[in-house]
């Protein structure tokens, strides 16, 4: 082992040893100080966690509330690292067996069915690169309210990343977003209005998410002079649906929305009007796509174009789309 690599490994071990860890296991009743004394309340664990805390979550299904409050969500504060997919015996993060032990974050509250589910399963606001969500299935969020654009009760059923009037740049990796709903950005909404929301998504899957309006999986919002510049690497988008942008919708107007897509796959996503894979509302033409080694397969209706861009405003784009046969 090279000296530099050895030093990196040693530093990682030291940092992990020094970090406070809260252990969470479904059905447990402890205080979270160890696997044998784990807590079963992930919501409480996240409330108690402070910057630098790691929260380790064993396999099982976790809901943001045992009640019927649709505004309840798992709130990840700045500097917290939330790790899932443990079997409950590990001493190191590296001992996890990928998705062999699924840690599921579910918005399925209230009565069975999606109608009364949590608006957002996860909520992150003003988080830096030190914030991480790693190793979860995120499902059954339903942001379906009639609130104004950009409000979290109508956006980001799976995850709402809020950088409005500030900034958010968390790292989301090894996660699967499936069966989430919302009016905009059913799986994830990156709100950079008058601020910046530029998360990193690494090794994530977005499957069977559906937006009533735009961005079947992800909506990147850089409007009101804001920025939404996410980076997506080794991500897969499959069978997501929206009106504009079956998988991804980008909106800028007077802001910027610069997207990096590296080794991503778009398969069988569908838009009712335009952008089966990706749709960009450029506004003042400040939305740019940087793609490398991406695959587009059987997206509807415009797989051949791969990316559809409109320089019209959002309202004009709707008029254009809906006037066509």
Percent of residues, the chain, with pLDDT higher than 70:
85
* pLDDT of amino acid 99: 62
In-domain check, residue 33: no
Tokens of 317: 């784009």
- At residue 7, the 3 state secondary structure works out as helix
Alpha helices of the chain — where are they, by DSSP H?
A: 3-18, 42-48, 314-322
Res 284 pLDDT > 70: no
Structural domain boundaries, residue 233: 55-322
In-domain check, residue 249: yes
Instruction: Please state, rounded to an integer, the average pLDDT across all residues of the chain.
Output: 88
User: Angle at Cα 14 formed by Cα 8 and Cα 17, nearest 5°?
Assistant: 140
For 96-128, the pLDDT digits (tens) are: 876 667 999 999 999 999 999 999 999 999 999
In-domain check, residue 39: no
Domain total for the chain? Answer: 1
CATH of the domain at 230: 2.160.20
In-domain check, residue 17: no
In-domain check, residue 247: yes
* pLDDT of amino acid 97: 77
Alpha-carbon gap, residue 255 to 263, rounded angstroms: 26
In-domain check, residue 23: no
In-domain check, residue 28: no
> 0.85 exceeded by the pTM?
yes
In-domain check, residue 1: no
Q: What confidence tier does 309 reach under pLDDT thresholds 50, 70, 90? A: low
* pLDDT of amino acid 235: 98
């Amino acid at each position: 082992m090279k000296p530099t690599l050895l030093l990196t490994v040693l530093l990682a071990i030291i940092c992990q040893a020094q970090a406070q860890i809260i252990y969470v296991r479904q059905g447990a009743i402890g205080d979270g100080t160890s696997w044998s004394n784990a807590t079963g309340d992930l919501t409480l664990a996240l409330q108690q966690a402070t910057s630098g805390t790691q929260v380790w979550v064993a396999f099982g299904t976790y809901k943001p509330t045992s009640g019927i409050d649709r505004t309840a969500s798992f709130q990840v504060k700045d500097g917290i690292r939330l790790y899932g997919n443990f079997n409950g015996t590990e001493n190191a993060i590296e001992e996890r067996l990928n998705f062999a032990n699924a840690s599921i974050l579910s918005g399925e509250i209230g009565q069975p069915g999606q109608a009364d589910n949590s608006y957002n399963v996860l909520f992150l606001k003003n988080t830096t690169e030190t914030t991480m969500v790693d190793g979860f299935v995120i499902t059954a969020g339903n942001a379906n309210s009639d609130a104004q654009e950009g409000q979290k009760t109508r956006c980001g059923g799976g995850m709402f990343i809020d950088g409005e009037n500030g900034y958010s740049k968390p790292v989301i990796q090894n996660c699967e977003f499936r069966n989430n709903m919302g009016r905009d950005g059913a799986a994830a909404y990156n709100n950079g209005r008058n601020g910046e929301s530029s998360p990193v998504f690494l090794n994530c899957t977005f499957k069977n998410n559906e937006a009533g309006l735009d961005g079947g999986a992800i909506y990147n919002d850089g409007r009101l002079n804001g920025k939404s510049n996410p980076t997506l690497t080794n991500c897969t988008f499959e069978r997501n649906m929206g009106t504009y942008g079956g998988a991804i919708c980008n909106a800028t107007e007077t802001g910027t929305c610069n997207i990096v897509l590296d080794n991503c796959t778009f398969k069988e996503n569908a838009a009712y009007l335009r952008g089966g894979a990706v749709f960009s509302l450029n506004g003042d033409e400040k939305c740019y796509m940087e793609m490398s080694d991406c695959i587009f397969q059987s997206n509807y209706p415009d797989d051949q174009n791969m990316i559809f861009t409109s320089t019209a405003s959002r309202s004009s784009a709707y008029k254009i789309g809906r006037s066509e046969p």
